[in-house]
Amino acid sequence: MDLFEYQGKQYFARYDIPVSPGGVATTVDEAVAQADAAGYPVVIKAQVQVGGRGKAGGIKLATNAGEVRLHAGNILGMDIRGHIVHKVWVENASDIKKEYYASFTLDRGARKHLAMVSARGGVDIEQVAAEEPEAIVRRHIDPAAGLSHDDALEIVKDAHLDEEAQAGAADILVKLYRCYVEGDADLAEINPLILTPDGRVHALDAKVSLDGNAAFRHPEWAAFEGTESDDPREQMARERGLQYVGLDGSVGIIANGAGLAMSTLDVVNQVGGSPANFLDIGGGASAAVMANALELVNADPKVRAIFINIFGGITRGEEVANGIVTALGRVTISSPIVIRLDGTNAAEGRAILKDHESDRLMSRPTMVEAARVAVALARA
């Protein structure tokens, strides 16, 4: 889950990483109010999940309310490489003496964390990386050993950060590492990390990507949800804790296990249909999970038929069947359902479904047969 800059700065603040005071605005009037609160001069920054905002004209300085109106008016609604700006972040502007770069990411190949620090931060870091890779210090960090203040100091010295910035930068590096590890981020990047004329070091930009697999231990991430994708179906799936990817077809898919769900998409394609989604309800899914999944797929207006493909291992057939019956009782399912139920307690499951079978709910013994029927129904 990628965060917007303003959210990344909120996340940084939890780990005591210094950022400038500011606030978000969705209208010009709000931008002026935020600027008045932050104190002039301010910088107005487009909130889109794409880099190079500065070069695209999405970042402007304003010294008074009139300039805030002008720039916020221009930036709101702007298209920055396909991303429309719906929000701006308005913060108290900093005086910049130097711009540095600092980040932590995971180096899967090395099975270690990777710190990258450069004295040549700012909007041209990609160019620096391409033309002068030696200007970026890369240091692996053993996750078991962590990063001490001394380690951090060594890194910033190796990167030739200015003497007066070294202690402050090392301090931020240690905090950024904590933010990255304890905060369960895949990426925590500050570009630029600045040195001000009065010798302070702080984060002027924030790029944070959170590891969705760790969401269960971060209830505070709920505030960030809905940022990753504009697809309302995926948003609904996240709220329900379901592994879902929205697609463009008309056959809604529910399967247990990622492998079976993928195969189900393939088989639907193979018999000439197109899946509306990927949805894996996981192993050992309860009736409640099945009901939840069915409601989610049913809410997709593109869905014309629903194919439920379950091979029971830990998941038991009667749980699946009870889930379907529960969902049928809770909401009006607008598309016909075809189910292929096999594996553990499949017979018990089929017996439960038997009483509910109709031209809106039918069972087929094999995956390919069920797929054919679902595809035909989606076309009807």
Pick what 252 binds: Mn ion, ligand GDP, none; C-beta below 5 to 8 Å, kind-dependent: none
Of these, 84, 96, 110, 288, which contacts ligand GDP (CB under 6 A)? 96
Of these, 168, 192, 317, 323, which contacts ligand GDP (CB under 6 A)? 192
Is 5 an annotated catalytic residue?
A: no
**Would you count residue 94 as binding ligand GDP (CB under 6 A)?**
yes
Please say whether the dihedral angle defined by the alpha carbons of residues 210, 58, 37 and 94, taken in this order, is positive or negative.
positive
What is the nearest approach in angstroms of ligand GDP to the Cβ of residue 54? 3
**Would you count residue 191 as binding Mn ion (CB under 5 A)?**
yes
Omega before 41 within 30 of 0, i.e. cis: yes
Phi, psi of 107 (to 5 degrees): -100, 95
Residue (99 or 280) nearer to ligand GDP, CB: 99
Residue (38 or 251) nearer to ligand GDP, CB: 38
Given the rule CB under 6 A, which of 31-39, 52-60, 166-174, 283-291 is the region that contacts ligand GDP?
52-60
**Would you count residue 223 as binding ligand GDP (CB under 6 A)?**
no
Residue (92 or 243) nearer to ligand GDP, CB: 92
Given the rule CB under 5 A, which of 20-28, 201-209, 254-262, 332-340 is the region that contacts Mn ion?
201-209
- Measured CA to CA, the distance from residue 192 to residue 178 in angstroms comes to 19
Residue (191 or 335) nearer to Mn ion, CB: 191
The residues annotated as belonging to the active site are 101, 189
Give the residues lining the site for Mn ion (CB under 5 A): 191, 205
Give the residues lining the site for ligand GDP (CB under 6 A): 43, 45, 51-54, 59, 93-94, 96, 99, 122-123, 191-192, 204-205
